[in-house]
Structure 1
């Protein structure tokens, strides 16, 4: 998925309407919900969280998946707001998720570290959409 574009204007202060603490807590819940939707191969649920561009990429990855192929267990989940930017008409909040996750019952939990770029129209309208996921940064 796309990260923030080179034309984005990075912010040092959040817009007045943005509650960073509440956003980070909500993002943790969405992370777990998306893992469950992935595991159950629930395309409509995944689509409800993603930008159209990211959903197209994920849908291609999921084309051969069946519900139950994966069983993700989130052992430890940390979330931290690492960037905010205005990119075109969107406000983008970048959250670093890290911790320990188990994706195969035969193997133990392993560390993970990824940044999710979550966007919303900059005028505080519309819904939040995951627009990009960067692994291991």
Structure 2
């Protein structure tokens, strides 16, 4: 490295050191500024791919929704289920989580819950908004993407922090089950 080229070797070493410092700072910044996420999911990715790039704003036109679809009722139920899943996940109530999720999502959440000690996690939803981003039917299933945002408190004495995430929900067209959580994307 330094053989016959002292100044070049020192410059290379200095560049490597600067690169290491920048990489370390970027990684620690990402950890400290991570948004609040679904009870313990932290940096995990969703089970289902993210919604298409063009669907970043809520469904706004009446023509975009199927006839008879009660968007307001759907979003009320989605918000209720959001809070119920937070509580069930905090408490490690695996059977309750199963009722609201696809099998793939259940396995991911179950693994997370089993890794934690009971009572370690606390999530208090102090403010919650929901927007329907997309509603589609494909391969015999209805798919909905709902953006949740608001404030949560992760410790009993902590200050509320903002969060934003998209939940992907699926329901069979034949109505054989209700809406199930199929994936979660963190909005950074």
Structure 1 length as normaliser, TM-score? 0.86
Of structures 1 and 2, the larger Rg is shown by: 2
Q: Does 1:40 align with 2:91?
A: yes
What's the Cα RMSD here? 2.0
Specify every segment of 5 or more residues in structure 1 that has no aligned partner in the other structure, as ranges. Answer: none
CA distance in 2, matches of 1:107, 1:17: 43
The alpha-carbon deviation at position 22 of structure 1 amounts to 0.3
Structure that is richer in helix per residue: 2
1:30 aligned partner: 81
Question: What SS is found at the alignment partner of 1:61?
Answer: helix
CA distance in 2, matches of 1:4, 1:105: 32
Higher relative contact order (CA 8 A, sep 6+): 1
The alpha-carbon deviation at position 66 of structure 1 amounts to 3.4
Question: Where in structure 1 do 4 or more consecutive aligned residues deviate above 6 Å?
Answer: none
Structure that is richer in strand per residue: 1
Q: How many residues align?
A: 133
Cα distance change, pair 17–53 in 1 and its aligned pair in 2 (3 A): farther
Q: Does 1:97 align with 2:143?
A: no
Specify every segment of 5 or more residues in structure 2 that has no aligned partner in the other structure, as ranges. Answer: 1-46, 53-58
Structure 2 length as normaliser, TM-score? 0.64
**Contact preservation (8 Å) 1:114, 1:134:** yes
